[in-house]
Structures are given as structure tokens and as C-alpha cells.
Structure 1
Amino acid sequence: MPKNIIVGVENNSQPQLYNHNKIWTKPFILAIIVVIILGIISLFTGAYDIKGQEDGMDMFFITRVPRTAALMLTGAAMSMAGLVMQLITQNRLVEPTTTGTIEWSGLGLLLVYILFPAPSLVLRMTGAILFSFVGTMIFFLFLRRVRLRSSLIVPIIGMMLGAIISAVSTFVGLVFKMTQNIETWFVGSFAPVQVGRYEYLWFIIIITFLIFMFADRLTIAGLGEDVSTSLGVNYNRIVLLGTGLISFAVGIVAAVIGNLPFLGLIVPNIVSMYRGDDLRSNLPWVCVLGMGTITVCDIISRTIIMPFEVPVSLILGTVGAVVFIVILLRQRRLR
């Protein structure tokens, strides 16, 4: 057989990883275009008639533009947090909702309200970030201490820890008569978003840049402590860094928007099914799909019973629960 034919056969038999991990592909550009279209639809969706009222354009820039920007930033933040957590724990069923991280953020917010009668947004963010970091580290330490036979037990443990923290928050709220603040936080909604109340979400861009910088090390950390150490990566340090970035993103979202369940579970799993576990190449996809998912849910929440509005957490929780069950059944079928 001629040599050139042999070389051609060998090349065709090798997996084409370059095209698979390439970011700027036609599907990715199409996904960006779809998200832009969804953003335009979001800008012109709402009960207030911005075209027929005299102050329509003022309301457009006061409420509609900030809301759409908050949707995009929040979708990227929660999806990235889920992706990083799944890499660190080596478990696809892990995200801020299933690890108790979001409940710890709520407890931090509640304690800030108790210590400071009228806390600023910066104080609320600080409390949420610190407590989400502590809660996530407790969850990770618990996983390292306990040997689990099934990956399905991991999210169950996280939900149990989250339920305990939620019960503590409810008790403290009843004692200090702060239950209204807890109820407002548990109902994640973009209705209160306006100029002056969402700007801290722009820090998410910095978090995205940092995650992209350390993407390779986080991917190696996802292979386990032994492999990471053999490859020259300080496992504990990179896990601490990843936890800090997750806590920062979740804390900002919790303080500004509230509880957004299952967003970090849906998007990373869909991306990983088709693209594998390379964080650097998956991160843009996760951000874009996260933006699109939460924007679709928010548009539905604004139109399903117009002129009233359903909290977006209700739509996300319903869709996320269905996807969570599908993932569980898929893992069982593969086994």
C-alpha cells in the first residue's frame, strides 16, 4: 500500500479534537446571535407601554436595559459556578443549589440585616460572599472526609446541608422578625432591577476572566488530587481559588437577585454532554447558554400571566427539576 494512503488512513482514524475544542465555530456564532435576539425581545417585553407613554424612553433605560444586562450577567455567573463546582467535585449533579451554597448566602444576608438595620448593597454582598465561601468549603471538606460509593449521594448530602441551613435561617428570621427578608430572597426575581441596583453584577466579567485564566489548572484539579500533584499543580490552592471565585459570583447574585435554582446544573451538563470536560473551551459555551436559558425563563415569567409577573425562580425550578430527573435516569441507564 502506498505511503500516502497509509498516512491518510491514520489521520482519518484519529479523533479530530482540534475542531471539537475550537471556540469560534458556526454553532457558537449562531448561539450568540440567538442570545442577542433574546436580549432584544427582553428589552421590548413588559406590561409598561414604553412606546405610548411620554416617559417611555426614560423607563426603557431605567428598567428594561438594566434588567436585560442583569439577566445576561446572572446567567453567566450561575452557569460558570456550576461548571467549576462540577469539575472540582468530579460530579455532574453538583451546583450551588445542590450543595447548600445558596442557602449559606441567604444566612449571610439575614445576619447582615440583623446586625445592620438598613444595610447597603455592599454589606449584603459581603455577607453573602463570606457565608457562601464558608458553606462551600464545609461541603468540600465533608466530601473529602467521607467515602461515598455513589455519585448520586453527593447532591443529596448537599441538599440535606442546605435544608439544615435553611431551617436555621427560618428560625433566626422568626426570632428577630426578619421572615419577610427571607421570603423576598427565596423568590428570585428580576422585577426590582433598575439603575443603581444592579451595577455590582458587572464584577462577574472579572470573575469570568479569572476563571478563564486558571481554566487549565481547574481542569487538572478535576482529575483528582493525586493526578494534580503529579502534574505539578497545587491541588488545595487551586480548589481554594475555585471556591473563592464561585462564592464571589454566587454571593453577588444572591444579594442582587436572590435564589436562582438549578441554572448551574442544566447548562454545564448540556455542554459537557457534547463537548467533554475541558473548562477553557466550554466556558464561552456555558456563559452563552446560561444567558439564553435565564433570558427565556424571564420572558416566560413576564408574559405567562401578563400584566402580572411570575418569579423567574419558579420557572427555573420547574425546568431544572425536570432536567435533574432526566440526568439521574440517564446515569442509571448508562450503568
Structure 2
Amino acid sequence: MFSLNRLNFLLLLVLCVISVMTGVADFNWSQLFSDPTQMQLLLISRLPRTLAVLLVGATLGIAGMVLQIVLKNRFLEPSMIGATQSAAVGILIVSLLFPATSLMVKMSVATLTALIGMAIFTGLLRSLPPHQQLMIPLVGIVFGNVIEAGTTFVAYQTESLQLISVWFTGDFSGILSGRYELLWLTAILAIVIYIMADQLSIAGLGQHISTSLGVNYRQMTWLALVVVAMITAVVVVTVGQIPFIGLVVPNIVSRLAGDRLRHNLPSVALMGANLVLICDIIGRTINAPYEVPVSTIFGIIGAVLFLYLLFKGKRSAG
């Protein structure tokens, strides 16, 4: 585990340097203190964007791991249980009814609607046979697409299609100093998850075992869902939807290091940050000077990995 974390950390340092140097405007480390424009470019654009990518990748990976433990299914993440799509519904409602509201209000409403979406999804899970675990992510994908289709229809009727495209497409091109600071809230939420990691691990064993070990199963489950909803809402409000991070990263780490939540959280955070940062760098260079959204690149990679994990899990179950 230590070697995995060390490797991820070293890779993270290298990627951060590359990320700061990548972009349309030329950046030169040697002129950082002699040329004021270079310092402005670093502080206003490159550094905030790099930090935003790191926070999004790390916290979405952690959110996916929490969901997989609480709901006891390896093939779940926020965009597969309607959380991301429901958060976008909340933002659309606020934007249409109260367009002048602050980001904090939008985040609060998005958190509430994300919780409602997850509550509906958990209700749907009760109607599925317990042994049909592979059906859960498929139902989640259908559920999320239904919500997204309804949101798109409302946006079409209200001439807001261009507005919702920002939330359904994860993109860091608009990140500047003053437009990403809300993401630091996700870092605080990740620390909260780390603090209650042991209780979450016990809750993942089921209600009867949790109760016998002195853990309030229902309370821990709802607390975990609230934290996941808040992380999802902040990310959607700030950069939009980026699928598959919470699915791919925890599964890779679990296969390499086992299923210990507290020990795996740093590895999940580092690997999630690295993967999203790699996709962001690719998106900035593959069609320069134009950018390909991170959600597009990670969506392709994540879909392939998801199918691999899904069919491998199906063969193992058989």
C-alpha cells in the first residue's frame, strides 16, 4: 500500500508540473519572477485549474467508494444512482426560478435534489432480487438517463438547453481564480469520510452486524448519502458531470490493495486525481488550441473499464 501511494504521489507531482505548463498561452518557469504576466497566468488560470482537477478527481473517487460500501455493490457511483442527474435538476430549478441566487444556494438545492434522487433509487433496489447484483448498475443507468431526459425536456421548453449543457458536460476550461473555491468544501467532506471510515466499514457489513457492534446502521447510511450528495452537488455546480470516476478508481485500488476502507482512501484520492489530471492534459493537447472536455475522454476510458469489470464480475459470479 505504501509503495502504491508513493508511486501515485510521485506521478501526481509530475502531472501537476505538466498541467501548469500546458495551455494556449506560453508559460515559462524561468520567467516566473521576472515577468509579471507569467505570475498572473500561474495564479489566475493554471494553478486554480490544476487544483480544481485534483479536488474533483480525488473526491469523486472517494464518493464512489463510499457508495459501493454503503450500498454493498462494486458497480455503483454517483452518476449511476441518479445523484449527478438529480443535482442538475436542482440547479435548473433554481436557475429558472431564482436566476440571481449565489452558488451556495444552488449547491444547497442541488444537494437536496441529489438526496431525493438517491432515496428514490434505493427504493427501487428493494424490488430487485438480492442475487441480481449486476442488475443494480444497469437499473441505475436507466434511472439516471430518465432523469436527464426529463431535465433536457424542461430545458428545451424553457429555452435553457445551452445552460444545462454546462452541467452535463464536465469541463475545466472555465476554471479561474474565484470560480473554483467552492470545491475546497469537497476536501472537507473527504476528511469527514476519513474520520468515520471505520463506522462506514461496519455499516457496510449489514444492519444486524452493525447493530451488534454498536453502530447505528440507518444513521451512518444516511450520513454517508448526505456527504456523497454534497460532493456531487459541488462538483456539478462548479465543473459539471464527469462519469465513471467513482466506479473505476475504487475498483482498481481494491484489486491492488484489498478492501480496507481507511487504508484505501489515500490511494483512491491520489489515483482519482491522477486519472482526471491525465485526461485533462490530453483534452488540452489532443486538439490544441481547442479543448476536448474531460468528461468525454474519461467517459470513453471509463465505459471500457466498466464493461470489463462488469463482464469479469459476471464470469466470477458464474
Q: Which has the larger radius of gyration?
A: 1
Match of 2:246 in 1: 264
Aligned pair partner of 2:8 in 31, 44, 47 = 31
Tell me how far apart the structure 2 counterparts of residues 27 and 282 of structure 1 sit (CA, whole Å). 10
8 Å Cα contact 2:134/2:314 also seen in 1: no
8 Å Cα contact 2:81/2:143 also seen in 1: yes
8 Å Cα contact 1:219/1:277 also seen in 2: no
Q: Does 1:229 align with 2:198?
A: no
TM-superposition CA deviations, 1:199-219 (whole Å, max 9, x none) = 011112211111011101111
TM-superposition CA deviations, 1:201-240 (whole Å, max 9, x none) = 1112211111011101111111111221222211100000
TM-superposition CA deviations, 1:262-308 (whole Å, max 9, x none) = 01111000011122222111101100000101000000000001111
Partner of 1:97, secondary structure, is helix
Aligned pair partner of 2:288 in 306, 314, 320 = 306
Match of 1:6 in 2: none
The alpha carbon displacement at 1:145 in A equals: 4.8
Q: Does 1:86 align with 2:63?
A: no
8 Å Cα contact 1:47/1:307 also seen in 2: yes
Partner of 2:78, secondary structure, is coil
- What is the 5 A alignment of 1:172-251? 172-251=154-233
Q: Does 1:121 align with 2:98?
A: no
- Scaled by the length of structure 1, the TM-score of the pair is 0.90
Tell me how far apart the structure 1 counterparts of residues 76 and 4 of structure 2 sit (CA, whole Å). 27
The alpha carbon displacement at 1:146 in A equals: 3.9
8 Å Cα contact 1:262/1:316 also seen in 2: yes
| CA RMSD between the two structures | 1.5
Tell me how far apart the structure 2 counterparts of residues 35 and 56 of structure 1 sit (CA, whole Å). 23
The alpha carbon displacement at 1:95 in A equals: 0.3
What is the number of residues matched between the two proteins? 312
8 Å Cα contact 1:99/1:136 also seen in 2: yes
TM-superposition CA deviations, 1:94-122 (whole Å, max 9, x none) = 00121111100111111010111233221
Match of 1:75 in 2: 57
- Structure 2: state its 5+ residue gaps: none
Match of 2:306 in 1: 324
Partner of 1:258, secondary structure, is coil
- Scaled by the length of structure 2, the TM-score of the pair is 0.94
Tell me how far apart the structure 2 counterparts of residues 153 and 26 of structure 1 sit (CA, whole Å). 36
Percentage of pairs with the same residue? 40
- Structure 1: state its 5+ residue gaps: 1-22
Tell me how far apart the structure 2 counterparts of residues 76 and 259 of structure 1 sit (CA, whole Å). 15
Partner of 2:79, secondary structure, is coil
